[in-house]
């Protein structure tokens, strides 16, 4: 078996030699000729029924070979039988909820998690009753109609870690979905610990260059079929050009994560010593819940750092105005460093009370550290923190 660093370069490219090409081709066809009606009908039935492929793709909403290649690659990296790609991470989560709705109307959700995921679940838009619990409450809150357990680890935005194996055991056979976006397959493989669905916002580290919006769910073949059926019916498909860009980004994934992770730990340690910072959240510093899991469940502490500014919201706003090299923007996992304010942006749709209960304070900032030289990143962040301090001193005066 090839090692991960080899798989990340070659996975999903098995058919290229037979095609006589080196780079994966982009198939932009929206429809495919059907000269044999009986064979076409059989292909249509297979694809609508959730099969991964058929003799004729029929229509791009049902199947696309460029998308199929990146799905094969990500299934390989996550160690699952299948992967189903969607137009965004939220489309991927929505598809899982719709597929599980047939098994019950109740879902247990461990907070914190991405703000829009939280909002989708709390709103009931997918016809599911979401009950928000701590990880140690899963077993006691299960019901006969519980169809899914959802955890995100590392959690967005506080980087708390959840014990996947313990969550699976507590679920008592109810499927567990793990949003593993922050970890990537480089650092964590939830299926190895019993998770039934592994979700990634592929927009982030998997794409890695800030130019693709995509979502994927890695799972067993039997669970992939209903997801493909939902995708075909709802049109939540990933565009082949986006699939091509996503696949093109994968060969450098391990290298990008390795460099960004080293940078993030350095930035976290410097922030911990800064007088304007009240608290730093980083698994490598042992400052998040279940931090020890980054050495057992994970293969590293990751590329993000969150920190709480002593002067709260005003300081956070000043930092957002002051950064120059670092981009003040939502999203994460790009080659360049990004910083944002969860309470005011990504988690704005979560109620203030729930924000506060899960550590999303007015002074909390989340930084996705990129692959730039760490001294340049720190110099920019340090000057921004100094400007934030100057604002406080002027206001006090």
The answer to whether residue 397 scores a pLDDT higher than 60 is no
- Catalytic, 100? Answer no
Mean pLDDT for 201-215 is 98
Question: What pLDDT is attached to residue 389?
Answer: 84
Question: What pLDDT is attached to residue 63?
Answer: 97
Question: What pLDDT is attached to residue 359?
Answer: 87
Q: Give CATH for domain 253-396.
A: 3.90.1150.10
- Catalytic, 114? Answer yes
Structure confidence by residue, pLDDT tens digits, 60-74:
999 999 999 999 999
**Average model confidence (pLDDT) across the chain:** 96
Q: By the 8 A CB rule, do 340 and 329 touch?
A: yes
Catalytic residue among 163, 179, 223, 380: 179
How do the domains of the chain map onto residue ranges? 4-104+173-251, 253-396
Catalytic residue among 7, 114, 142, 231: 114
CA 248 to chain centre: 18
Question: Is the domain covering 4-104+173-251 a CATH 3.40.640.10 domain?
Answer: yes
Structure confidence by residue, pLDDT tens digits, 20-53:
999 999 999 999 999 999 999 999 999 999 999 9
Question: What pLDDT is attached to residue 61?
Answer: 96
Structure confidence by residue, pLDDT tens digits, 341-393:
999 999 999 989 989 888 899 999 999 999 999 999 999 999 999 998 876 66
Catalytic residue among 100, 142, 204, 228: 204
Structure confidence by residue, pLDDT tens digits, 187-203:
999 999 999 999 999 99
- Catalytic, 179? Answer yes
- Catalytic, 204? Answer yes
Structure confidence by residue, pLDDT tens digits, 248-300:
999 999 999 999 999 999 999 999 999 999 999 999 999 999 999 999 999 99
Note the pTM of the prediction, 2 decimals.
Answer: 0.96
The answer to whether residue 125 scores a pLDDT higher than 90 is yes
Structure confidence by residue, pLDDT tens digits, 310-334:
999 999 999 999 999 999 999 999 9
């Amino acid at each position: 078996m090839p090692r991960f660093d080899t798989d990340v370069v070659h996975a999903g490219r098995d058919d290229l030699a037979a095609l006589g090409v080196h780079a994966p081709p982009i198939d932009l066809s929206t429809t495919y000729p059907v000269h044999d009606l009986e064979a076409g009908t059989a292909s249509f039935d297979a694809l609508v029924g959730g099969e991964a492929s058929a003799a004729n793709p029929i229509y791009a909403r049902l199947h696309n070979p460029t998308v199929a290649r990146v799905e094969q690659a990500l299934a390989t990296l996550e160690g699952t039988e299948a992967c189903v790609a969607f137009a965004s991470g939220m489309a991927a989560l929505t598809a899982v909820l719709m597929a599980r709705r047939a098994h019950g109307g109740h879902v247990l959700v461990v907070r914190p998690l991405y703000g829009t995921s939280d909002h989708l679940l709390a709103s009931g838009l997918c016809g599911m009753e979401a009950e928000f619990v701590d990880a140690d409450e899963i077993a006691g809150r299960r019901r006969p109609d519980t169809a899914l357990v959802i955890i995100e680890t590392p959690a967005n935005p506080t980087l708390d870690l959840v014990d996947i194996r313990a969550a699976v055991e507590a679920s008592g056979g109810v499927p567990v979905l793990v949003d593993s976006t922050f970890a990537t397959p480089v650092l964590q493989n939830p299926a190895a610990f019993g998770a039934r669905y592994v979700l990634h916002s592929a927009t982030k580290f998997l794409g890695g260059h800030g130019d693709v919006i995509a979502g994927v769910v890695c799972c067993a073949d039997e669970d992939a079929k209903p997801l493909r059926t939902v995708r075909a019916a709802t049109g939540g498909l990933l565009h082949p050009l986006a699939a091509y860009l996503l696949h093109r980004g994968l060969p450098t994934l391990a290298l990008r994560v390795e460099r960004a992770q080293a940078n993030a730990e350095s930035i976290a340690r410097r922030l911990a010593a800064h007088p304007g910072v009240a608290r730093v959240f980083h698994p490598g510093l042992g400052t998040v819940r279940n931090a020890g899991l980054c050495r057992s469940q994970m293969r590293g502490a990751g590329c993000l750092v969150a920190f709480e500014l002593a002067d709260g919201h005003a300081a956070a706003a000043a930092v957002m105005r002051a950064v120059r090299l670092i981009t003040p923007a939502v999203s994460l996992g790009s080659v360049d460093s990004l910083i944002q304010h969860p309470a005011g942006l990504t988690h704005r749709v979560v109620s203030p009370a729930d924000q506060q209960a899960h550590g999303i304070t007015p002074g909390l900032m989340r930084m996705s550290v990129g692959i730039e030289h760490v001294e340049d990143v720190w110099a920019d962040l340090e000057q921004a923190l100094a400007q934030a301090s100057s604002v406080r001193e002027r206001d006090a005066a």
